[in-house]
């Protein structure tokens, strides 16, 4: 990701050519202050991530008018994501300069009034638009007219602004259409005197220094990547001089650096942050040239090792090259190379990975291991707009997957393997508990996905409320554990006699177990009970969904014009190995 000066992005944007990107999005930028150059910077950064986008920039400090007017250019543009950048001076007005000209009680009433005005504006926007809204909170200045006495003052200047921010956070915490960008934290990260340039402010109401527009654009880009389902799923790690200091094959178990001294503590710190990501659903894997026994002894027995064997979903500890190992990890975990982030201290290995597998995000590690944890914390590749129950349990699910593979390797017949799994598929309706996961699956599932239509949570909510549509999902459980919600199907029932399968997908985690046929048998049975004459479906091929290419034909669908069709009155048998449960 480029982090050049604003002039670089201004010039680069002029040379951008129209391209057909796989991912596209419509972005609206509203602001209470001048944001010259933000459009160009965001456009370039999106293109660097192979994202095409139309960007609408609202007029200077006209966000109120844009939101309140029914036929404004904002609503005609119909954005997918809208960024609303507000600042403390604009919101507080003259009270920003003279907060103590009124009493503490009046300050509280003023903040409540300002908050309710903004809350009302946000709700108006949500009622008029299908866009997600990302709004910046207010920066708490380092300055106070009361100086040292600020903290001794009831509901002082800083407390007013902090209270406003807290109200904003609490009000929209459970609203999946509104996200609060912590602009106050952004200023703390880069420094108040860097972000706010008084000369630029006085010259043109520029409240973010031009030099730091690219950094703020980076932060906003994370929302775009997350909204498009482009977050990474797995961190692949080298061992020697990456998870511990030294080479275990040469230095031995007792000779490596792991805790006990500043150098060793750096690796412990790195592992602690890796563990935190693992616990929220980011998978970990090992790709190391090493002696297997030596490496596993450290992982299993070293007293200062934070990550243990059960934290890793895949282990490639051998003498094969790192690129071959990475391909095998991708195959075993069953998702594409563009889902991986690679950490390796060796610049030669990193360059080999970059040149051979550019889809993998290879991290440029510092020679100083104390920086590893900082580099990890600054990575935004794992940002997501929602962390679901399935995310937090993902590591355990992949460990259970290893048990399934072991069983499969020990039986000679697929039918016997499936029967031994004791599969149960529970069909569920779309509701407040399942909608976040349903949306997530539509955004991220590529391989076994008929149409690869992408739906945000608010889209699923509307479909679920529409009597002409049915939105369902399936939870898969077997004797090794709960795979969670791993399938989604959306049926268009507008024509009472001819249903259309709008969406049909299955997570790669449960492919190859006849689950898709069990779900299809339910759809066909439901259609039959409702006197439906035909069920139509479409397969829209992409670069990644070849695994579902023959699904319709294998299940008895016949090609008719540009679609596939099946007659519900014809028998479609539920696979013997699966128990289907309707909830």
CATH number of the domain residue 128 falls in:
3.40.50.1110
The residues, ordered by sequence, that sit 6+ positions from 399 with a Cβ below 8 Å of its Cβ are 310, 313
Phi-psi region of 93 (alpha: psi -120 to 50; beta: other; left: phi over 0): left
Q: Is residue 451 part of a domain?
A: yes
Cα 282 to Cα 69: distance, rounded to the nearest angstrom: 43
Q: For the whole prediction, is pTM greater than 0.85? A: no
Together in a domain, 96 and 202: yes
**How far is residue 506's CA from residue 488's CA, in Å, rounded to a whole number?**
7
CATH number reported for the structural domain that contains residue 525 in this entry: 3.40.630.30
| Per-residue model confidence (pLDDT) at position 1 | 42
Q: Please list the rounded mean pLDDT of every run of 10 residues in the chain (583 residues).
A: 77 85 92 93 92 92 96 96 96 95 97 97 96 97 94 96 97 94 95 91 90 94 92 96 95 93 94 96 95 96 96 95 96 91 96 96 95 94 87 81 78 82 93 92 92 92 94 93 93 95 92 92 94 95 90 93 89 86 87
For residues 67 and 131, give the distance between their C-alpha atoms in angstroms, rounded to a whole number. 12
Is 384 within the bounds of a domain?
no
443 token code pair: 């955004």
Q: Are residues 183 and 327 in the same domain?
A: no
Q: Are residues 439 and 371 in the same domain?
A: no
- State the residue range of the domain holding 261: 234-378
Residue 87's alpha-carbon distances to 118, 184, 194, in angstroms, are 12, 10, 16
* Segment holding 178, helix H or strand E: strand 178-181
pLDDT for the residue numbered 389: 82
> Do residues 185 and 240 share a domain?
no
47 Cβ neighbours under 8 A, 6+ residues apart = 16, 19, 21
CATH code of the domain containing 272: 3.40.50.1000
- Assigned token pair, 513: 């177990």
| Domain-located, residue 395 | no
Q: How far apart are CA 127 and CA 169, in angstroms?
A: 19
Do 366 and 333 lie in a common domain? yes
Angle 102-104-105 (CA atoms, 0-180°, nearest 5)? Answer: 95
The answer on 46 and 152 residing in a single domain is: yes
Domain-located, residue 387 = no
Tell me how many domains the chain contains: 3
CA–CA separation, 329 vs 112, rounded Å? 54
Residues 302, 146: Cα–Cα separation, whole Å: 54
Asked which of 227, 255, 271 is the last residue of a domain, the reply is: 227
| Residue 95 forms part of a structural domain | yes
Residue 501 and residue 565 in one domain:
yes
User: Looking at the domain assignment, is residue 456 inside a domain?
Assistant: yes
Residues 253 and 205 in one domain: no
> Roughly how many angstroms between the first and final C-alpha of the chain, as a whole number?
46
Residue 549 domain flag = yes
Which helix H or strand E contains 428, and what residues bound it?
strand 423-429
* Cβ 284 vs Cβ 270: under 8 Å: no
Residue where a domain stops, chosen among 170, 201, 227: 227
Tell me if 538 sits within 8 A of 528, measured CB to CB. Answer: no
Query: Where does a domain end: 227, 246, 272?
Result: 227
Q: Are residues 526 and 446 in the same domain?
A: yes
Q: Are residues 352 and 491 in the same domain?
A: no
Residues 6+ apart with CB under 8 A from 256: 244, 245, 246, 247, 248, 298, 302
Token output for 413: 């017949």
Structural domain includes residue 399: no
Residue 275: left if φ>0, alpha if ψ -120 to 50, beta else—which one?
alpha
Do 212 and 262 lie in one domain? The reply is: no
Count of other CB atoms within 10 angstroms of residue 92: 20
Report which of 448, 472, 470, 236 is spatially closest to residue 361, judged by C-alpha positions: 236
Same domain, 259 and 160: no
Structure token pair of residue 398: 């992949």
How many angstroms separate the most distant Cα atoms in the chain?
83
């Amino acid at each position: 990701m480029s982090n050049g000066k604003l002039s670089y992005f201004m010039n680069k944007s002029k040379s951008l050519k129209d391209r057909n990107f796989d991912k596209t999005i419509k972005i609206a930028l509203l602001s209470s202050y001048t944001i010259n150059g933000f459009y160009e910077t965001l456009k370039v950064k999106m293109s660097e991530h192979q994202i095409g986008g139309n960007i609408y920039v609202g007029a200077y400090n006209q966000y109120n008018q844009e939101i309140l007017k029914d036929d404004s250019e904002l609503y005609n543009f119909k954005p997918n994501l809208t960024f609303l950048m507000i600042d403390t001076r604009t919101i507080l007005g003259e009270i920003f300069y003279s907060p103590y000209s009124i009493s503490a009680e009046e300050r509280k009433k003023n903040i409540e009034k300002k908050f309710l005005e903004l809350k009302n504006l946000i709700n108006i926007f949500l009622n008029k638009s299908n866009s997600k809204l990302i709004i910046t909170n207010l920066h708490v200045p380092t300055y106070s007219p009361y100086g040292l006495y600020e903290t001794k003052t009831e509901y002082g200047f800083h407390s007013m602004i902090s209270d406003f921010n807290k109200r904003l956070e609490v009000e929209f915490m459970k609203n999946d259409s509104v996200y609060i960008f912590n602009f106050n934290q952004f200023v703390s990260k880069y420094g108040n005197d860097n972000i706010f340039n008084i000369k630029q402010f006085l010259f043109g109401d520029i409240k973010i220094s031009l030099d730091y527009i690219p950094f703020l654009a980076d932060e906003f880009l994370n929302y775009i990547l997350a909204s498009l389902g482009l977050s990474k799923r797995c961190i692949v790690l080298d061992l020697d001089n990456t998870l511990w200091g030294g080479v275990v094959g040469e230095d031995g178990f007792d000779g490596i650096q792991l805790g006990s001294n500043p150098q060793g503590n750096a690796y412990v710190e790195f592992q602690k942050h890796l563990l935190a990501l693992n616990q929220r659903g980011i998978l970990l894997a090992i790709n190391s040239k090493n002696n297997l026994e030596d490496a596993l002894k450290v992982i299993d027995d070293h007293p200062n090792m934070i990550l243990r064997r059960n934290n890793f979903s895949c282990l490639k500890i051998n003498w094969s090259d790192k690129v071959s190992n990475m391909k095998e990890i991708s195959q075993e975990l069953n998702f594409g190379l563009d889902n991986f982030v690679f950490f390796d201290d060796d610049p030669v290995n990193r360059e080999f990975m970059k040149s051979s597998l550019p889809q993998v995000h290879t991290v440029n590690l510092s020679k100083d291991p104390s920086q590893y944890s900082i580099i990890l914390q600054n990575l935004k590749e794992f940002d997501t707009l929602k962390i679901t129950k399935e995310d937090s349990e993902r590591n355990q699910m992949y460990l259970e997957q290893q048990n399934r593979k072991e069983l499969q390797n020990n039986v000679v017949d697929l039918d016997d393997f499936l029967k031994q799994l004791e599969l149960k598929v529970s069909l569920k309706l779309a509701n407040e508990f399942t909608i976040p996961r349903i949306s997530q699956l539509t955004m991220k599932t590529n391989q076994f996905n008929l149409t690869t239509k992408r739906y945000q949570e608010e889209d699923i909510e509307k479909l679920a409320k529409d009597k002409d549509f049915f939105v369902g999902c399936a939870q898969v459980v077997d004797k090794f554990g709960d795979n969670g919600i791993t399938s989604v199907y959306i049926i268009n029932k507008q024509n009472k006699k001819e249903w259309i399968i709008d969406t049909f997908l299955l997570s790669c985690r449960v492919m190859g177990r006849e689950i898709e046929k069990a779900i299809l048998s339910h759809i066909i049975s439901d259609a039959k009970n409702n006197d439906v004459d035909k069920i139509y479906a479409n397969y829209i091929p992409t670069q990644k969904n070849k695994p579902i290419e023959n699904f319709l034909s294998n299940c008895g669908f016949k090609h008719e014009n540009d679609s596939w069709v099946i007659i519900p009155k014809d028998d479609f048998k539920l696979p013997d190995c699966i128990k289907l449960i309707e909830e």
